Amino acid sequence: MDPGNDTRISEFFLLGFSKEPELQPLIFGLFLSMYLITVFGNLVIILATISDPHLHTPMYFFLSNLSFVDICFTSTTIPKMLMNIQTENKVITYEGCITQMHFFMLFAGLDDFLLIVMAYDRFLAICHPLHYTVIMNPQLCGLLVLVSWMMSALNSLLHSLMALRLSFCTELEIPHFFCEINQVVQLACSDTFLNDLVMYFAAGMLGSISLTGIFYSYSKIVSSIQGISSAHGKYKAFSTCASHLSVVSLFYCTMLGVYLSPDSANSSHSSATASMMYTVVTPMLNPFIYSLRNKDIKRALKRITGMAVI
């Protein structure tokens, strides 16, 4: 390798979605709105589940954890993007890029594991209702969340350490709105075979295990729902499962599309658009799909609203 290329770089340039100056206010307003909706919606869910004793159940415990993770997930990328647009400065430091990448992988992995845990929780509640309270005790619920944090932390730490070993040349422009690992790896001058191997293996393993577990759980749920005699009950249950599966499909399909697609596809702005779907849109939709259609959450929100008025 040319010694001149093995220098220690200090910053990257996040190109975002568009270089057109007239589009920047529109992009800023759009992402600011989605970020505020995401933070407010998920905070409301957390407040409702904490304040209402009727919601102190495994289902809402996992839901509040998912809401907290979604707030952190979007907060690792959107504020930096908004600041870059506002200051008209696309620079992110090398340390800031690695840090952003680490926490992004951490919270993305947590989203992944929590979706599996929530599918398992619903599977037990619907398919094994008599044993549900015994199996899903507080100790097991806490252990499942703790294991999710540990597995996600190890995964993000591995990817971050693998990225630190890379050397970068003069091409420091990232065609993205945040430091996504596959985009950073493509800019390296050094050999990226191990990085690509670990990245594809982790994405394939997590994706296949997660989707298999989730679809198995919901297939059993659907089989149990078919035994319900009430037509209204069937419709309500199928509608809820369809809503959950729509978020799962949106999250996994766009994420796997980004990480398992060829390099040529990832180099375009289509990768940034696909990443936006699972990093911004899905966390924004989760409060609506998982909670606002839920009567227990609505009752808790009405009680909180009434107390605030009093």
CA–CA distance from 229 to each of 129, 224, 294 (Å)? 17, 11, 22
Beta carbons within 8 Å of 106's beta carbon, 6+ residues apart: 152, 153, 155, 156
Q: How confident is the model at residue 4 (pLDDT cuts 50, 70, 90)?
A: very low
Instruction: Give whichever of 7-16, 25-34, 195-204 has the largest mean pLDDT.
Output: 25-34
pTM: 0.87
Burial of 71 per CB tally in 10 Å (0-12, 13-18, 19+): buried
Instruction: Render pLDDT for 13-66 as a digit per residue (tens, 0 to 9).
Output: 998 887 788 888 999 999 999 999 999 999 988 998 898 888 899 988 998 999
How far apart CA 26 and CA 17 sit, in angstroms, is 11
State yes or no: pLDDT of 164 exceeds 80.
yes
Q: What is the pLDDT of residue 150?
A: 96
State yes or no: pLDDT of 252 exceeds 60.
yes
Would you say 98 and 163 are in contact if contact means Cβ atoms under 8 Å apart?
yes
Instruction: Render pLDDT for 279-302 as a digit per residue (tens, 0 to 9).
Output: 888 899 888 876 666 777 778 777
Q: How confident is the model at residue 264 (pLDDT cuts 50, 70, 90)?
A: very low
Location of structure tokens 């009434």: 306
Average pLDDT of span 103-127: 90
pLDDT higher at 274 or 100: 100
Q: What is the pLDDT of residue 6?
A: 47
Average pLDDT of span 206-217: 84
Q: Provide DSSP, 113-163.
A: HHHHHHHHHHHHHHH-HHHHHHHS-HHHHHHHHHHHHHHHHHHHHHHHHHH
Enumerate domains of the chain plus CATH numbers: 3-309 (1.20.1070.10)
pLDDT higher at 171 or 144: 144
- The two tokens of residue 251 are 């999250």
Average pLDDT of span 220-225: 82
Q: What is the pLDDT of residue 100?
A: 95
The per-residue pLDDT of the chain, averaged, comes to: 83
Within 10 angstroms of residue 298's Cβ, the number of other Cβ atoms is 13
Q: Which helix or strand (DSSP H or E) is residue 93 part of? A: strand 91-93
Instruction: Render pLDDT for 70-103 as a digit per residue (tens, 0 to 9).
Output: 999 999 999 999 999 999 888 999 999 999 999 9
pLDDT higher at 163 or 258: 163
**Of all residues in the chain, what percent carry a pLDDT higher than 90?**
35
Average pLDDT of span 202-219: 84
Q: What is the pLDDT of residue 310?
A: 40
Q: What is the pLDDT of residue 285?
A: 84
pLDDT higher at 67 or 269: 67
Say how far residue 179 (Cα) sits from the centre of its chain: 15
Average pLDDT of span 221-249: 71
